[in-house]
Structure formats: structure tokens, C-alpha cells
Amino acid sequence: MKELFMHSDAVKKGAERAAHRSLLRAAGLKDADFAKPFIGIANAYNNIVPGHLTLNKITAAVKEEISQAGGVPLEFGVIGVCDGIAMGHEGMKYSLGSRELIADSIETMGRAHCLDALVLIPNCDKITPGMIMGACRLNLPTIVISGGPMLTGQHNGRPLDLNSVFEAIGQFSQGLIDEQEFHAIECQACPGAGSCAGMFTANSMNCLCEALGLALPGNGTIPAVYPERLELARQAGRQIVALTKQDLKIRDILRKEAFDNALAVDMALGCSTNSALHLPAIAYEAGVEITLRLINEVSAKVAHLCNLAPGGPDHLEDLDRAGGIMAVMHELDKKNILARGLPTVSGHTIGENYQNASVKNQAVIAPIDKPHHAQGGLAALFGNIARDGAIVKQAAVAPEMLRHSGPARVFDSEDAAYQAIRGGQIRKGDVVVIRYEGPKGGPGMREMLLPTSAIAGMGLDKDVALITDGRFSGATRGASIGHISPEAMAGGEIALLQDGDLIEIDIPRQTINAKVSPAEMEKRRQAWQPPEPKIKTGYLARYAKLVTSANLGAVVR
């Protein structure tokens, strides 16, 4: 093999780098290490986020294998926000924005220390896409090894997850369950370490890493507490050294066809609507364009195969036992949907990764010719209140709500809407409108799990729709339409809606419109003034000035 080019030579070769080597020796490096590649390990461990509790064990396994394979593991920390803990208060404004901080920190650490390759060790929500975005800027050999999903909780013989608790809040407030039942659900829903057990945002992104080719098979579904998770980490540690020697960079893997594959798997799984933010954002950093209309094109030809929570009864451990993401891809391949010949971090093509996979439980992974739904899990909607599009997780919408027409109940914040819902002010047939919660207006585009869970918990999810320029947790179910673009703060038509306006939603036809004439809309626009920013100092004030629309992935340019 020809001599390996190493970025790290810039800090370790030549007499003029003696001071650099001296500092590295202080960190534990020896003479022999200066001939080896420097492998950066981005570890998002903290003991606040349940999904991150095991990441130090993952990191230790990765580091050991890197050392044995001939690399130098260099670990650094990465922040991570728990969306569940941040939910429903000012903290949620920081969740999406943390993705950009993470991307910036990965870029900064990689460039400042001349790293030769990266192992990304995330688990929850924004950490996975943020790490990948930063890695795309560096364009180094990169592998993702996540912490893995949480096991489901159990109560009275039924499975529970975090969403069960949020919905129980609505049930308790309506007297549908007593305090003892409410407390039992709270205590039993999240039994230990791992990302929340349904096909929520964290698990969606960790599964899609397999489809993109950035992670080894099993990354998205092997539970956090299983010993197989540590073995996968050891494999990742060995493989990153091999990728470094091959000089297979992240952008070599993240081609347009890889995103097409990921979107197909997204539709088959019924992933979180947040994937419609994160995949375009990752693609942007990789030099690839993904639009909301592309999501509809893929959804039209890819059936929904997995009925996973929150839309169905199954969880990630069930998907893992049924064969995992490779089994889903093997099933999709029967219709020649996927690009087979793309490179992956395994050293094999994506087609080689899934060619020997098989579906072990057709109740969890439906046959391609007998899907749960003929179309994919997500749909983008367009209309006179969403000129640039909106997103709905159509796989989690009750059939009777796929088409809905009702009067608008307009609120200028999530908090105001939630209080109205909890106060019994929302009636069957209403369309709850929550605005000024977009990337700029929030700022930070809060998730609306509290109001959507309250609606579901009160038994109104088959009667009430909710639309917003904010976004939804992957745990959201019902006719919840988010990412409305342009957002209200940017002068989007959602800012012009008034109580009583008739809102018409037609998910099968991919439309969302207000029955308001163009002349009336223009009259309202002339009278509209943007409100004062909610946050005027600190990081979010800067973020609000630079962030783009949700339909563009809410990236900062």
C-alpha cells in the first residue's frame, strides 16, 4: 500500500512541530504514535440524556479497537440536548439550534487538530445529524456508531414509551385515568438507557445512517443495553482504521443516490417528520439537494412497511428482532427501488450489506406486496398557506383525518395553544393553528409534543387537526402538520390567518389551503407587522438572523 497521506502530519512532522509533539506527549502519545493516523472520536456522553448514558462504554470499545488496528484515538466531547426534558418550555427553543452548534464544533475540532478520520458517537435527536453535517464539512473518512434504542416499558401487559407519558397527561387531565395509574405510567415508560423506544427522531436518524451507508448494519436497532451494541462499537473501531487507509471519505459515500435510498427507507419505516429537516440539512453540507417535492416523489413509489410507534404497536426492539434495517432494504429491493452499488463504511456496497438479510416477522416488517399503506410514511403538503411546503407523518394519521375541513383556532405560541387545549376550549372539527414558532419566529422551531399529546390523550386526535410553522416530535401522531413554509415571522400566509377561517386539509392530494380569497389575503398582508423577536440576546438571537426556512432544512447560511 502506498504511503498514507495524513492531515495530522501538519502537527506531528518536522523539527518545527516539536512544540506540538510535546503537547501531544503530555496527552499520552509515544514516539510510535506519530507515524499513525489520528482518529477523532466525537463522544456525546452526558448523564442528563438517558440515550447517552452508555456512550462512554461505546467510546471505550471504539478506542481500544482503534489502538489495536494501528490508529491513535483522540476523544473529545460534544453537547447533547434531550428533547423530552426540553419539551414544553423555553429549553425546546435550543434543541434544533444545537444541531448547528454541534456541526460547528465537529468542524472546529477536526480542523484545529488536523484529524485524519472521525468516529461519531451520538444517539439522540439533533446530535446525529449535527455530527454528520460537521463531518461533511471536513470530508474525512467517517463512521457513525450510535448508543442504540431504549427497551420498551411495560404496564399491565402493554408496551410503553415516552409518548405514553405525554398522552397520559391528557388522559389524567380529563379524568380518564386516576393518579395511581398516571404515576405507574410515568415510572414504567422509560426503563433504562437508550434513545426513546419508538420510531421517533433519534431512532429515525440512527436507522437512516445505515441506509445512507454511514453506519454498520444494526446501528439503528440493536438496543442500547444489549452486548451486541458493544460488539458493533468494536467493529466500528476496527473499520474506521481500514477506511482511513482506503481514504474513503464521507462525501464519497453521501452521493445523491445514497439520499434516495435513505428517503426510501424513511418512507418504509414511517420515520419522524424531523427527517425532513435533517436529511436536507445533511445533503446541503454534502453538496446534494433534497426538496420536499422529492419526498413526495419517493413516497409515491415506496410503500409503508413498518407499523412502528407512535403510529403503530411495534418498537425498535421488535424491528431489530424482525431483521432490522437491512431486512427492510432487502424487502424494498424486491421492487428494484434501491441503488445497490453504493459504497458504505462496512467495506461492502449497500446491496452486499443487505443481500443476505431476511424478514423474520412479517407482522413487524410487512411484505412489499402487502404493506400497511400503499404510500410512504411522510407527505409534503402545498397550498395557499404553505407555498413552500409543509410536512405530515401520514402513516400516523387516522384514516378519517386524512381529509379534514374545519375552522381555524389561531394561537401565536405553543403555550397559548396548550392552555386552550387543556382548558377544554378546542372543539371537535377545529384546526388548531400555532404560529411564530418557526426557525426564526420561535426562535428555534420548538416541537409541539405537549399540545399534540394532549389532543390525543383527550381522545380528539380523530377530530382535531393541528398545523404549525413549528415542528413535531417523532412521537407525534394524528393530523399534525408542521414545517409550514414560509413561516409566520418571515411573512408567510400562516401569519395572516384569523379565527374562523376555514382550513381544508387533503393529505392524499398533498394540499393544505385556507378558504380566504387572494384579495382578502392581500388586505391582511398590508395590515400585518412582524412581532418583536422573542429573544434578543445570546445564541438564539444570532441563530434567528441567519437560519433559513424549514423547507430548506433550517440550515444556517
For residues 442-451, give the mean pLDDT.
92
Tell me which residues are annotated as active site.
Answer: 473
Asked if residue 524 and residue 431 are part of one domain, the reply reads yes
* Domain total in the chain: 3
Asked if residue 444 and residue 513 are part of one domain, the reply reads yes
Would the pLDDT of 480 be above 80?
A: yes
Asked if residue 145 and residue 161 are part of one domain, the reply reads no
Asked if residue 179 and residue 86 are part of one domain, the reply reads no
Task: Tell me, yes or no, whether 26 lies in a domain.
Answer: yes
Would the pLDDT of 95 be above 80?
A: yes
Is 333 known as a binding-site position?
Answer: no
Last residue of a domain, one of 347, 367, 387: 347
Asked if residue 229 and residue 159 are part of one domain, the reply reads no
DSSP character at residue 356: T
pLDDT at 553: 97
pLDDT tens per residue, range 139-160: 999 999 999 999 999 999 999 9
Last residue of a domain, one of 140, 166, 188: 188
Let me know how many helices (H) and strands (E) the chain has, helices first.
Answer: 21, 14
Asked if residue 173 and residue 86 are part of one domain, the reply reads no
d(CA 378, CA 394): 5
d(CA 128, CA 103): 10
Q: What is the CA radius of gyration of the chain?
A: 23
d(CA 488, CA 511): 19
Question: Which of 8-17, 425-434, 442-451 is predicted with the least confidence, judged by mean pLDDT?
Answer: 442-451
Asked if residue 144 and residue 62 are part of one domain, the reply reads yes
Q: 10 Å Cβ neighbour count for 536?
A: 9
Task: Tell me, yes or no, whether 227 lies in a domain.
Answer: yes
- Domain housing 394: 379-552
Asked if residue 244 and residue 162 are part of one domain, the reply reads no
Question: Which of 109-123, 345-359, 459-473 is predicted with the least confidence, judged by mean pLDDT?
Answer: 459-473
Would the pLDDT of 255 be above 50?
A: yes
Helices 227-246 and 55-69, packing angle to 10 deg: 40
Task: Tell me, yes or no, whether 125 lies in a domain.
Answer: yes
DSSP character at residue 289: -
Asked if residue 271 and residue 170 are part of one domain, the reply reads no
Task: Tell me, yes or no, whether 274 lies in a domain.
Answer: yes
Asked if residue 521 and residue 409 are part of one domain, the reply reads yes
Strand partners, 304: 373
The answer to whether 512 touches 467, Cβ cutoff 8 Å, is yes
Task: Tell me, yes or no, whether 427 lies in a domain.
Answer: yes
Is 430 known as a binding-site position?
Answer: no
Would the pLDDT of 375 be above 90?
A: yes
Question: Phi-psi category of 115—alpha, beta or left, where left has phi over 0 and alpha has psi -120 to 50?
Answer: beta
pLDDT at 1: 39
pLDDT at 439: 98
Asked if residue 163 and residue 147 are part of one domain, the reply reads no
CATH number at residue 503: 3.50.30.80
Last residue of a domain, one of 140, 169, 188: 188
Would the pLDDT of 168 be above 80?
A: yes
Asked if residue 490 and residue 427 are part of one domain, the reply reads yes
Is 126 known as a binding-site position?
Answer: yes
Task: Tell me, yes or no, whether 317 lies in a domain.
Answer: no
Task: Tell me, yes or no, whether 276 lies in a domain.
Answer: yes
Q: What is the mean pLDDT of the chain?
A: 96
Is 125 known as a binding-site position?
Answer: yes
The answer to whether 435 touches 494, Cβ cutoff 8 Å, is yes
pLDDT tens per residue, range 495-546: 999 999 999 999 999 999 999 999 999 999 999 999 999 999 999 999 999 9
Task: Tell me, yes or no, whether 518 lies in a domain.
Answer: yes
